[in-house]
Chain A
Amino acid sequence: MQKIAELMRAKAVELLQSSKAERVLAWRAGEFFYDNAPAAFNDVDACQEIVYNEFCPANLAKYLIEATKQQKKTVVFLKPCDTYGVNQLLKDHRIKREYFYAVGTPCSGMLDVKKIKELGAKAITQITCEDNKVIVETPYGTKEFAKEEVLLDKCMMCKGNEYKIADEELGEKLEPIQFVGDRFAAVKAIEAMSAEERFAFWQEELSKCIRCNACRDICPACSCEQCIFDNQEAPVGGKAAADDVEEQLFHLIRAYHVAGRCVGCGECARVCPQGVKLGLLNLKFIKDINQFYGAYQAGEDATTPSPLVSYKENDPEAEEAVQRRG
Chain B
Amino acid sequence: MLKDAAKFEPKIVAFCCNWCSYAGADGAGTARKNYPANVKIIKVPCSCRVNPMFILRAFQRGADGVILCGCHPGDCHYSTGNYYTRRRMALLMSMLNFMGVAEDRFRVEWVSAAEGAKFAEVMNDFVVQITALGENVKLRDLRCKK
Interface residues, chain A, with chain B CB atoms under 8 Å away: 187, 190-191, 193, 195-204, 206-207, 209, 243-245, 247-249, 252-253, 255-256, 259, 281, 284-285, 288-289, 292-293, 307-309, 311-313, 315-319, 321-322, 325
> How far is the CB of B24 from the nearest CB of chain A, in Å?
18
Q: Which of B88, B95, B140 has the most CB of A within 10 A?
A: B95
Of the residues B95, B102, B108, B138, contact of A285 by C-beta under 8 Å: B95
- B86 near A311 (CB under 8 angstroms)? yes
Query: A80 CA to B145 CA in the complex, in Å?
Result: 39
Closest chain A residue, CB of each to CB of B61 = A245
A-B contact pairs, 6 of them (CB 8 A): A198-B100, A203-B144, A203-B145, A248-B143, A319-B93, A321-B94
CB distance from B47 to the nearest CB of A (A): 11
With known contacts A198-B99, A203-B144, A311–B60 Cβ distance under 8 A: no
Beyond A256-B52, A319-B107, is A195–B87 a contact (Cβ under 8 Å)? no
Kindly list 12 other residue pairs between chains A and B, CB separation below 8 angstroms, not including A252-B99, A318-B86.
A191-B98, A198-B99, A199-B101, A201-B100, A255-B95, A256-B92, A289-B91, A315-B83, A321-B93, A322-B90, A322-B103, A325-B97
Q: A199 vs B101: C-alpha distance in the bound complex, in angstroms?
A: 7
How many residues on the B side are at the interface (Cβ–Cβ under 8 A)? 34
Asked whether A311 lies within 8 Å of B80 as measured between CB atoms, the reply is yes
Taking a contact as CB atoms under 8 Å apart, the answer to whether A285 and B144 are in contact is no
Tell whether, in the assembled complex, residue A199 and residue B100 are in contact, meaning their CB atoms are under 8 Å apart.
yes
Q: When chains A and B are docked, how far (Å) is the Cα of A178 from the Cα of B85? A: 40
Known: A315-B87, A319-B107, A321-B90. A256 touches B142 (CB 8 A): no
A187 to B97, CA, bound (A): 12
Task: Give Cα A245 to B139, complex, Å.
Answer: 9
Nearest B residue to A320, CB-CB? B90
Please give, as numbers and ranges, the residues of chain A lying within 8 Å of B108 by CB-CB distance.
317-319
CA distance A256 to B133 in the complex (A): 26
Chain A residues within an 8 Å CB radius of B99: 198-199, 202, 252
Find chain A residues with CB under 8 A from B123 CB: none
In contact, A202 and B95 (Cβ under 8 angstroms): no
Q: In chain B, what residue has the closest Cβ to A201?
A: B100
**How many Å lie between the Cα of A92 and that of B103 in the bound state?**
31
Does the CB pair B143–A247 fall under 8 Å? Answer: yes
